[in-house]
Amino acid sequence: MDSDEFSEDDIVYLIPLFKTKRKTRYVFKLKREGVFYCKFGSIQHKEIIGKIPGTVIKSDQNYSFVVLRAELPEMIWYYKEFKYATQVIYPRDWGIIMAFGDINPDHKIVEIGTGSGGILAFLANRLKNGKIYSYEKNPERAKIAEKNLESMNVPKKYEIKVRDVAKEGVDEKDVDVIIIDIPEPWEVIEEAWCALRPGGKIIVYTPTYNQLERVLLELIRHGFIDIKIKETIVRDIQTKLYAIRPMLKGYYFSAFIIFAKKSLVIPRDYITQFILKKKITSYSG
């Protein structure tokens, strides 16, 4: 069988070849005896298995669909097996994190705040010899994330640990990158500093200015330098040939993404009088 052909356990993406009221898309995993049902009829999975991406498939009600391999963003948006334990870091921010975090396939990565497993799945799909250690303090959320990753056929380049990092820290040392996505990220900045290798990078994902300020203060206090803050603005363009223009409705803001590098010196020249009133932890190299 050609490697391009669909086989059992592949996850497929169906696009209707007819007009629908909304942007209708379907994602499901192929099983030899499986049947896909929707309001436009049913499709036997065996009619897709052995076909190649781009093939046109018809339902028993004679509705036509193009079948493709589902990509990760499509799984997150349309796959019913993907459950939301929390909001995820969406695809619009993945590239920013990958590029400005300078993440490569051999990195050792720690994630604090597994959530539903969106960014974890993205990074695990791109690792070669590297690995991600993801910490989630809520056991139920950790279970949901684990099931999400398994259902999406994500390679086992990850390990999910149930732990409150703010209280118990992380096991890993000499980490290349730490990604933080929790409601109170400033509480784990010290743990991140201790786990990172010298020059290692911290990435904090936070949605409000209030959180941003507190994170920034803690980063400065703990010796992080080269701090950069990014905001991703994405605008979709309508693809109708008679009216190519920006979409009238859109989701433009997601969060602030903070990038910084671990240094071995606390840059006291940049510490404001406000920070000096707080306790500053000293570290040995």
Provide the pLDDT for residue 264: 87
Which amino acid is present at 46? Answer: K
Domain boundaries, the chain: 11-70, 91-276
Task: Give the strand order in the sheet containing 11-16.
Answer: 26-29, 11-16, 64-69, 55-58
Q: Average of pLDDT values for 248-275?
A: 75
How far apart (Å, rounded) are the C-alpha atoms in residues 1 and 172? 43
Contact indicator for 261, 224 with CB cutoff of 8 Å: yes
Name the CATH code of domain 11-70 (choices 3.10.330.20, 3.20.20.140, 2.60.40.10, 1.10.760.10).
3.10.330.20
Displacement of CA 65 from its chain's centroid (Å): 29
Q: 103: left (phi > 0), else alpha (psi -120 to 50), else beta?
A: beta
**pLDDT of 282 higher than 70:** no
Displacement of CA 216 from its chain's centroid (Å): 23
Angle subtended at Cα 110 by Cα 105 and Cα 181, rounded to the nearest 5 degrees: 115
Angle subtended at Cα 230 by Cα 277 and Cα 111, rounded to the nearest 5 degrees: 75
Provide the pLDDT for residue 3: 63
Provide the pLDDT for residue 198: 95
Quote the mean pLDDT of the chain: 91
Q: Average of pLDDT values for 65-83?
A: 96
pLDDT tier at 274, thresholds 50, 70, 90: very low
Q: 200: left (phi > 0), else alpha (psi -120 to 50), else beta?
A: beta
Contact indicator for 99, 49 with CB cutoff of 8 Å: no
Provide the pLDDT for residue 122: 96
Q: Average of pLDDT values for 239-254?
A: 85
* 124-128, 143-147, 264-268: segment of lowest average pLDDT: 264-268
Q: Enter the pTM of the model.
A: 0.88
More confident residue, 2 or 171: 171
CATH code: domain 91-276 is 3.40.50.150
Contact indicator for 103, 112 with CB cutoff of 8 Å: no
Residue 146: exposed, middle, or buried by beta-carbon count in 10 A (0-12, 13-18, 19+)? middle
Provide the pLDDT for residue 169: 95
How far apart (Å, rounded) are the C-alpha atoms in residues 71 and 91? 11
